Amino acid sequence: MTAPAALRPTPDHHPGRAVGRRLRDARKRAGLTLVAAGRHLGRDHGTVARYERGELDPPTSAIVALARLYRVHPGELFPPAPQA
């Protein structure tokens, strides 16, 4: 059974996509390419692209490594918690 549309995450509200957008924005602010980010992680640039599109959840180790590379705090790569 599928959740009602009102309860399903929309593309703009999907947590992985929010992290992905923040990863992409931080990479671009740092002036780096997908290839450079992939090399830093020891992964293919396509993997980094999938992280940025929200198609693949990056492991914690990748988030920490990318945050260092992009010179941001890892917490900046996550959206704020929803307000209750």
At 30, which CATH number? Answer: 1.10.260.40
Query: Is residue 83 a part of any domain in this protein?
Result: no
Please give the tally of structural domains in the chain. 1
Query: Is residue 4 a part of any domain in this protein?
Result: no
Query: Is residue 9 a part of any domain in this protein?
Result: no
- 30 exposure class (CB count in 10 Å sphere: 0-12, 13-18, 19+): middle
Enter the pTM of the model: 0.77
Query: Is residue 84 a part of any domain in this protein?
Result: no
Span 37-66, mean pLDDT?
95
Q: What is the pLDDT of residues 14-26, one digit of tens each?
A: 666 889 999 999 9
Range of the domain at 57: 15-74
Residue 76 vs residue 2, higher pLDDT: 76
Query: Is residue 80 a part of any domain in this protein?
Result: no
> Does residue 4 have a pLDDT over 80?
no
- For the chain, what percent of residues have pLDDT higher than 90? 70
